[in-house]
Amino acid sequence: MTRLLKQQAVGEHVRRLRVQTGMSVRSLAKLAGFSASFMSQVENGQVSPSISSMEKIAAAVGVTLGEFFEAAAAGRGGSIVRVGDRQALSSGWSNAKIEALCLPDTTARLEAILITLRRGGRSGKHPYAHPREEFAFVLQGAVVLTLGPEEHRLRRGDAVRVLPGELRLWRNDARAPARVMIIASPIASLRRSRTIQRSTRAGVQ
């Protein structure tokens, strides 16, 4: 059985990452596009952010969504992750569960996660862009993917490649749960993007 991370553990991990980068709550909130009060609630484990919100927070502190699971990881070990040992996050807003299919590792070439969207679940309020390239494969059920200006209905066995910066939003309009496996490009590309953002801001100032 997967081990579901508590909101408190995730919030504490977000706080540690923020402190490591030297940012204040207000600075992190501004970079991620949220209010300082919302960011404070996340760190205190008082809210359950949407999938897109968690991705934005992760990108703002220079990590990936998969690294959020490091909060409860006992160790890195090998590359085999048994189904009963998966780390999982729950998003009340998105009505979804996110499971790590690999151990958190900053040296990994790829990152794989499994998203289960329950009835009415969606990744965020609006389509949003992500700095990394992603490959998604529908393992179960049916989902609607808003990709750029178009909507696509995907069923079991369908696959899609999402380019960096391309707007996308996942949602499940069906009664049955839908499961989508997402494999993302190297973590290094996100770190380079984060470095460029910092350099750009420094240049503007």
Q: For the chain, percent helix, then strand, then coil, each to nearest 5?
A: 35, 25, 40
Rounded distance between C-alpha atoms, residue 49 and residue 136, angstroms: 22
Is 47:7 a contact under the CB 8 Å cutoff?
yes
C-alpha 48: how far from chain center: 13
Q: Kindly state the average pLDDT of the residues 124-143.
A: 93
Rounded distance between C-alpha atoms, residue 3 and residue 170, angstroms: 24
Which residue would you say has higher pLDDT here, 136 or 83? 136
78: pLDDT strictly greater than 80: no
- Domains of the chain, by residue range, sit at 3-204
Token duo for residue 18 = 């923020």
Rounded distance between C-alpha atoms, residue 69 and residue 114, angstroms: 13
At 200 the pLDDT is: 38
Strand 96-100 and strand 87-91: the pairing is antiparallel
Rounded distance between C-alpha atoms, residue 86 and residue 68, angstroms: 13
Domain 3-204 indexed as CATH 3.30.365.10: no
Q: What angle (nearest 5°) sits at the alpha carbon of residue 113, between those of residues 3 and 70?
A: 55
Which residue would you say has higher pLDDT here, 169 or 16? 169
Q: Kindly state the average pLDDT of the residues 16-37.
A: 91
- Give residue 16's pLDDT band: very low, low, confident or very high (50, 70, 90): confident
Is 164:97 a contact under the CB 8 Å cutoff?
no
Mean pLDDT across the chain:
82
157-195 pLDDT, tens digit per residue, is 999 999 999 999 999 999 999 999 999 886 544 444 444
Residues in the chain: 205
Statement: the pTM of the whole predicted model exceeds 0.75: no
Token duo for residue 86 = 């998966």
Q: Kindly state the average pLDDT of the residues 123-128.
A: 92
